[in-house]
Amino acid sequence: MKFNAEPTMQRVRSGLLPVQIKDGADGIQREGQRAAAVLVPLVKRAGSWQVILTQRPQTMPQHAGQISFPGGKRENDEGVEQTALRETEEEIGIGADDIELIGRLPSFNAVSAYRVTPFIGIISPSAVITPDAREVEDVFEVPFNFFMSQENHVLREVMYEGENHRLFDMPYDSPDGTHRNVWGMTAMILYRIYQRSYLGVFEVDY
């Protein structure tokens, strides 16, 4: 895609790992764990990079109402990059032909029983978003620069398994007045992009 060489995307790419995984970093690390992947979809509209996000329905048994990236667990023998692409098409209707994967973040163990690999992809501006109502209540976009600005990172300290963890919430008020709090794994992934691509900090604990 023509946007791949633009300065913002070059900066983002500087903090990413190659799409292809050769060292087994996405592999299961503990009994009962499952491999999963998410896609961070970036699209350029009217000269500004946007992050495409979804909101889960309140009726879902897990992660109800949360702000999320398209993603889910790996199926059969597919690679996790295929997982991210498949889940994106299933959840918001954007197929692989409209996505260019430009890299990934290190895989990590989620609080749930998943080892998650986040991929970053450029979405064609002409791609048609068609959310699956069973999994997605709303699809919305937030300026990428909002998440890459430290002033929008709200520190929250959490005690988990006897250890103190520093997390960041990223509350956002859209132009139409809708307030959404981007938090949890979604905010953590965005913060990792900020750390690696904007601060040059690569050695961090998940």
pLDDT in tens, the chain (206 residues): 666 678 999 999 999 999 999 999 999 888 889 999 999 999 999 999 999 999 998 766 565 678 999 999 999 889 999 999 999 999 999 999 999 999 999 999 987 789 999 999 999 999 999 999 999 999 999 999 999 999 999 999 876 666 777 889 999 999 999 999 999 999 999 999 999 999 999 876 54
Contact yes or no for 182/162 (Cβ under 8 A): no
> Are the C-beta atoms of 38 and 104 separated by less than 8 Å?
no
Q: Per the structure block, which two tokens stand in for 76?
A: 């059969």
What is the CATH number that goes with domain 2-20+30-147? 3.90.79.10
Compute the distance between CA of residue 137 and CA of residue 15 in angstroms, rounded to an integer: 32
pTM over 0.95: no
Query: Domain ranges in the chain?
Result: 2-20+30-147
Give the three-class secondary structure for 67: strand
Q: In 34-107, where do the E strands start and end?
A: 34-45, 48-55, 67-68, 71-73, 99-104
Among 70, 1, 83, which Cα is nearest to 34's? 83
Q: 10 Å Cβ neighbour count for 156?
A: 12
